[in-house]
Amino acid sequence: MKHLKLIICLFFVLGAVSSCAQENKNIKNIEGVKYNELTPAEERVIIHKGTEYPNSGEYLHTKEPGTYVCKRCNAPLYKSEDKFDSHCGWPSFDDEIPGAVTRVPDADGRRTEIICTNCGAHLGHVFLGERFTDKNTRHCVNSISLKFIPDMSKDIKKAYFASGCFWGTEYYFMKADGVKHTAVGFMGGHVDNPTYEQVCGKNTGHLETTEVDYDPSKTSYEELVKLFFETHDFTQTNGQGPDIGPQYLSAIFYSNDEEKAIAQKYIDILTSKGYKVATMLKPASEFWKAEDYHQQYYEHKGSTPYCHFYKKIFD
């Protein structure tokens, strides 16, 4: 009986080893590669092969030119020209960058998983024969498995604004003419890569900040500064609306002297109009992107900001 138990245990061990070998046989083992640190939510999908909720992903509606790379190892996976709207609730692509994505049949044989060839990160599943596009292929990918790198070849510039809850700040900037992409995160603190919970603890020094990528041939930094002041209460000194705390203060993070001068110009204009401006001017520092569920929050929720509003001030 003891020998029989030993044989059975050995059978299962060998089976597990064989299974692991099968799962990893298409993954490149690159010595010295350092993977990006993942949040628990990212690990649930990328490592443990979970799925994010439909219609919740950051890149579901992203249309601007650029490249989607692996969240775990930064390997390029998809080009924006291969992305299409399948109305399935997740980003869809009908092609991948050659050699970037590996297909692995699910254990039940019903679906085909897609993983990053470079590091084995779980991306989602691939489906054939649905006739969405001429390529008749749909890579159904979790946004949380990806990072989007905008195409900066057209002289796209970045600007950084803090005006209370970053959900509301982003809501107005992402709809502005000439803005190509927005992201929300944290700037101005003393903790590297802070979490939302850490910032809410009010001890990291960060402000909730919106990163704005804009085309200077379509709009100007000056127009963005005007929009900033016209979409929040820049006289409030303890937060924004009902959101009270140091992370909700009003600030413009300037990247050069020209941006600082433009921001100061409009503070002076507002002061001459009788406003007591509480907005701070701070040099831009490291921008730490917030968790995926914060990105384009109101777009995904289908609602509007509760503490931001538009009020025309400038001619």
Q: Which listed residue (70, 73, 119, 165) is catalytic?
A: 165
Q: Which listed residue (116, 140, 200, 307) is catalytic?
A: 140
307 is annotated as an active-site residue: no
DSSP symbol at 154: T
Residue-level pLDDT at 24: 37
How confident is the model over 14-66, as pLDDT tens digits?
333 333 333 333 334 444 567 999 999 999 999 999 999 999 999 998 888 89
CA nearest neighbour of 149 among 62, 34, 67: 67
* Residue numbers of the chain with a pLDDT score lower than 70: 1-33, 152-154
∠ CA 138-302-182, nearest 5°, is 70
Residue-level pLDDT at 20: 34
What is d(CA 34, CA 116) in angstroms, rounded to the nearest whole number? Answer: 15
Q: In this structure, are residues 250 and 164 in contact, taking their beta carbons and an 8 Å threshold? A: yes
9 is annotated as an active-site residue: no
Residue-level pLDDT at 154: 64
Structural domains present in the chain: 36-149 (2.170.150.20), 153-301 (3.30.1060.10)
Identify the burial level of 52 via C-beta atoms within 10 angstroms of its C-beta, where 0-12 means exposed, 13-18 middle and 19 or more buried.
buried
Residue-level pLDDT at 186: 98
